[in-house]
Structures are given as structure tokens and as C-alpha cells.
Structure 1
Amino acid sequence: MNISLNFKWLILIVLFSLQRVFCLGQELSTDISNYAESEEIVVTFNDGPGNPKDWVGLYQFDMVAGEASSLAWLYVNGSKTSGEGLTNGELFFSDGLIEEGVYEARLFENDSYTLLAKTTFTVGDIGPSVKTDKEIYTPGEVILAEFLVGPANPKDWVGLYEVDMVPGAVGSLAWYYVDGTKDGTEGVSTGSVTFDAGMVDAGNYKAVFFEDDGYTVLAETFFKVQQPAPDSLKLVSIS
């Protein structure tokens, strides 16, 4: 990941305390939002389909299930051998996770990667960060900026700047609040905003994550916009 700045808070505010993702009625949550390394993680699931092989896996935030193996997993009966099909319950990942970072617990259906619900939590003493989905874009290409572990104010925002621009002294080239709008009505701690128009001109840029409608920088990351390389060199004969 091309995260260039990762602030650490002395006291990590309560993150995702009410954050639960609902998919088709299923619900998933963790007992706390921030764990120490190797601390036991307790995951609660509700309103699952009740298949014996429904399961919960722990993943880093940006891992793609199916392409990457889970860091830890259990069937809904709390073991790695399927048994009773439960719709509600608690799972205990007693070894926790050993590396600090942003993670997701994900509930999957019946031994598959069909996602039913997920919830986000953190491990270790970490602070806000931001990244773009690519390091190099072509002019006008869509730019996705993902922000992690923000304070969840409705008017936290992400702006795009040329690398030498000073936020506050000049306006951003493009911006959105963390809920993906220009209104800022919903506080989001971890998510993404999409800049459909991208950046028109080639150059060096930065995406900056700001706090609460101000210019307090929570994190920033750098990216480039450049013309695509030609597919092949054309030889011109001069006679």
C-alpha cells in the first residue's frame, strides 16, 4: 500500500463502536473495536441462515476473500469441524492477531465466499491513514481514495491537490466528505470516496484526509498522473 503518512494517536478513540454491516438481515460485530496484539477477539453473529458450514473469517481490510486465505476462521459452531447450524452465537479467536492494522471479520455462507455480513476492527496503536487504489493514473482516470481509522465526523473530508499545493492557502482540485457527498451528513470512520473525473493534467499529486471541515491533516498519500506509454514504437522511414 502506498500510505505515506500514518499518524498514531496516544489514545485511540472508540472506533466503529456501532459499526455493523448488514447484508440481507445478517449482523456481525466484535466485542470491542480495538485490540492489543494477540488479544482474544470475540465475534458475535445474528440472524444467520443457520447452515452448519456458515463460517467467519478474519482478514486484513484490503484482502480479497477467495484470492487470499483468511488469517483465522471458525464455523458458526466455534470449531473447524462443522456441527450444529446456528443462526446466532459468539466465536472466540483466542490467539487474536499479531500485527497492528485494520481488519475485518466476515460472515460467509455455507463453506463459500458468499459474503453475508462484515464488521471492521483494529489491532494495535494505529491512527488514521489514506491510500489511493493506484499509484499511477492516466489523465481523466477514476481515482478511488480509501480512508482508514478516521474520527468519524460527518464533515471529515478528502481532497486532491498538486503535490506542492498548501491546503488552506489554496483550494483543493477536488474533494468529498467521507460519506461521498458535498453535504457531509453521515460520519464514516473507514471507507472510500470516488473522484470520477480524475485529474486532467499529468503531474504529481496527493490525496489528503482532513478532520471536521478544517485543514487539520489526518493523513496523506501521493500519486502520479501521466500519459499512457505507447504500445509500440513506430518507425518512420525518411527517403
Structure 2
Amino acid sequence: MATKGQYFAGFFANNGYTEIAGRKSFYVGPKVLLQPTADSYPVGGTVVINYTNGPNLTNDWIGIYKMGQVPGTANPSATWSYVTTAAGTKNFTGLPKGYYYATYLLEDGYTQIGEKAFFKVGDIVTDLWINKPVYTLGENITASWTDSPGIIKDWLGIYPQSVQTPNDQFTSYTYFDGITQGNKTITGNVNGVPSTTGNYYMVMFTNDSYAEVSNRVSFEVVGATLGTNEANSKTEKNVILYPNPAKPGQPTFIKSDYPIEKIQLLSAAGQLLYETKNVNDQKFSLVNENLPKGVYFVKVHTRKLFTLKLIIE
């Protein structure tokens, strides 16, 4: 075909124009090339995409999408711009941290041509957290994350705290099919959860490498006999945490059957965020105004130690 553009092949009945099968669309024209000027851009910076050899049809456009998203009406682009020449440069600003790709789309639609151009915004992009800061031996560990690179060979590694430079001396490794946002439960003592007590961390790596793409999440593994003094409110109704889930700025109330000696608030990574001592009461109000959305743990020290999960949504 001599004219560039979008076409379709149809199957028609009895020498007429009644279509009796689905259309097959295709594109005829040059192969466009997109190229970012860098692999990584700072938050607040300008993402620069060069393009060459474009068909320059009416209302062709370049869209910027998060990894894992497929262009379409259900998945709007993070930002976009029309192209009016066969080659040129487009600048994009205001992108939050994340992994992205640029793609060339035809005539105000969602038909993509050429190869995608990949880049990231921000230094450590992926947010990783686990379901609790302390585990007993053999207990499953559930990891959750957002904004991963989306590569099929991305993986989660567990290391002893003594290994500060990740290498092949990991406790375990787990693939998760390159899902950009989700969770994975790690089980078993063979390439799974740690088989000895101690302090560990989990981190995400990309594309079968040792390049860290997430924050490190620290946790502790204790022996089963050492955890008998720690209880969850679902099994022993001696401590109540409400409302839960809570909203930012909304106080969380703690009610105990025993006088409270100390309260600690920990992040999902096990970092101590807040502590108060000498409460000497059976009730306490915890203010959440500075807490972003996420999962936290509240340790209530009474006659026993109670660990409760708090969700801010």
C-alpha cells in the first residue's frame, strides 16, 4: 500500500458487504522510534522524549503510562501530547515517582506503533512492606508493594542483617511474575522463610540482578517458646483497638483489661515511630494526624505484651 495509515481486513459474505467475522486491524507506515534522554529523572524534573521517523498522521500523540497499564479508555495516561511533525522532542513535567513508559499512538486512538521507551522518576520508587515486624520460626511472611519495575524476573530477597551488600548469600529468593502492585506470601523453610532465629531484611531486586529497587524492610524471627507472652487481640480479648481501620487525623483508642505501662507504634518495616511510657491507665488515645495511609503495629505493654495491627486508610 502506498499510503500510510490504519487499515483493516474484513471477511464479507456472498459478494456483498455483510461482515461475518471480526475485523483485523493493521498499520502501514514508517516505524517510529522513541528515546528518553535519560533512564532516570528526579521527581519534579522534566522528562524529555525524542521521537523520529513518525507517520505524523492527524492527531497522533505520545502518551506516558505507568508500568503495567495498557492504554485505553479504562487506563488514562499519566500525561500526553500531540505530535505535529515526523521527528521532534516532547517535554513532560509533573510526574510523581514511578516506573513509566512512553508510547506512540495513532489518530486520537489507542493503537500503538513502534517500541515503548522506558524510564523511571525518582530514586527509590518501589514501596515495600510486610505484614508484621516479628515472626515465629516457620511463620509465613506476606510482602506487599507498589510501583515495581514490572519485569518478569524481578524478585524479593531475604537476607540476614549481617549481609549489608546483597549477593548470592541470601536466605531466600522469590519471583512474583513482575506484578507492579500486589502481594506475595512466602512459605516453607526451603528457599522460603528463615529457618533460624535472628534479624533479617527483605528487599526487591530487578531483572535477576542485585540492583535494589525498593526500601529495605527489617524484621525479626523468634523461637516459638519466646513468643508466648505476645498475643493478638483476635485470640485474647484483653486489649481492644478501635476504630480500626482508622483515617488520618482520627484518634485511635486503646482499651485494656490491665493497666497500660507502655505503648509503642511501629511502621510495617518495624521502625519505632512513637513511644509513651508510664501511662498507668487502662485507656489511651493515639492521635494519627501525621500518619500516612498504610499498615502499622501497636505494641501495648501490660501484664502481657500485645501486638495489634493498625490500618490507616
TM-score (norm 2): 0.35
Higher RCO (C-alpha 8 Å, min separation 6)? 1
Larger radius of gyration: 2
Superposition TM-score, scaled by structure 1 size:
0.44
Greater per-residue strand proportion: 2
